[in-house]
Structure 1
């Protein structure tokens, strides 16, 4: 496998993932031993943050960012991206803590960044799979992706997926301070911005497996937000083509516990 273009940071947001975090990190470091990890915990009441601290104490590759309250997946990732931009990592990965994103797929995603700027782990390209999802979840996911692809006019088949790899330059240039989307919509927003900015976006097949422990954070309000924003973005792209505001300041305060 080709080496990624610099140190790798895997950002893992957590909220009530005490049962899943340890096994996920063990599998991750078995697959990519050199990767650093930033756990971004939103004050989980089940003790996930304390567990993350103990894992960080035992492994110098793991750090923890504690946030005061649950404020959404998008905000957690943006906090993690800000941390990455203040350090020396050249490649930043999005990964769920619940085991749905197989760490064993990460080497292939990192290999693909060699000739791309953003690599999307895709359930809906040849070789991609979804395991243990009920029919209504499959329908919702495929329908959301189809609508987003048509509304935005992009050829991405899995624009809502959350297993991703970014080159540092992408995060430096994507105006992160203007991103307010959450959950399902956050992933569409980031991919759409990358396409609009002219970055090379590539999809690589992954196997997505529904969590076996804990509860999904997906709900109807997240999907409704996504559909509304995608509609607005598609209309703006066709009729106004307005540019986003100035980029994020990478030097903001960063309360990370080593």
Structure 2
């Protein structure tokens, strides 16, 4: 079967890991079987459960898999930024984000890449849980309320126009990543996804959303914590205040100009 993404060029899928030994094998197998031409970079933050060693073993027998070992658990954002820099240095045309815990399906990665290929002006395609046909499976109600509420808060304060700005299943064209100054990205947790989306828009990039099915992990532990939620709330609020300040400043300048 031919997909539109066949013409995208070199595609890198970054999978950050910390204690994902129970789920990483199935994730790697699913992606490589569904989309055999992609490369995968596992970014492991010194997992004590052997995740990094397993990734090394896969990489030793499959030239499509690479592993980056980091010295300690340093947050989702730092892991992705390290992966972005690795991919850009090797001239990948498209760089994707994907979780290792089974919540992101390889079949939806195909949909995301096809959408990117179908819209040459798109700089970023988000896999969205909250657009029509998107859904979550086996999620506790409080998690859904938190995610929907958080995304509504982001839309109201930042005006990004996205239904799922916090989602971490996405594909970037390499060029827009080159246009972003990574030193300005200060978010470490899931707020990193909002930070990257607003940075793409600031860089003039178009963002599109496609529906995905998000499946709650069946093994391992969620990395979501109170500190991650607090970081997101504080940063989005500060970004919203900053946005309103510059809007008001622009209105004052226009009236007095």
| Structure 2 length-normalised TM | 0.92
More helix by share: 2
Runs of 5+ unmatched residues, structure 1: 242-258
Of 130, 144, 147, which residue of structure 2 is paired with 1:141?
147
Q: CA RMSD in A?
A: 1.0
- Residue equivalent to 2:233: 227
Shift of 1:69: 0.4
Q: CA deviation at 1:236?
A: 1.2
Post-superposition offset of 1:5: 2.3
CA offset digits 1:39-82 (Å, max 9, x no partner) = 00000000000000001011000000000000000000000001
Q: How does 1:1-258 map to 2 (within 5 A)?
A: 1-2=3-4, 3-114=6-117, 115=119, 116-240=122-246
Q: How much does 1:235 deviate? A: 1.6
CA distance in 2, matches of 1:238, 1:30: 47
Q: Give the number of equivalent residue pairs.
A: 241
Which SS does the other structure have where 2:96 is aligned? strand
CA distance in 2, matches of 1:77, 1:136: 27
Whole-angstrom CA distance in 1 between matches of 2:96 and 2:83 = 10
What SS is found at the alignment partner of 1:101? Answer: coil
Cα distance in 2 for residues equivalent to 1:40 and 1:5: 23
Provide TM-score, normalisation by structure 1. 0.91
**Which segments of structure 1 move beyond 2 Å, counting only runs of 4 or more?**
none
Point out where structure 2 has 5 or more consecutive residues left out of the alignment: 248-257
- Cα deviation code 1:106-133 (max 9, x no counterpart): 1110011121110000000011010001
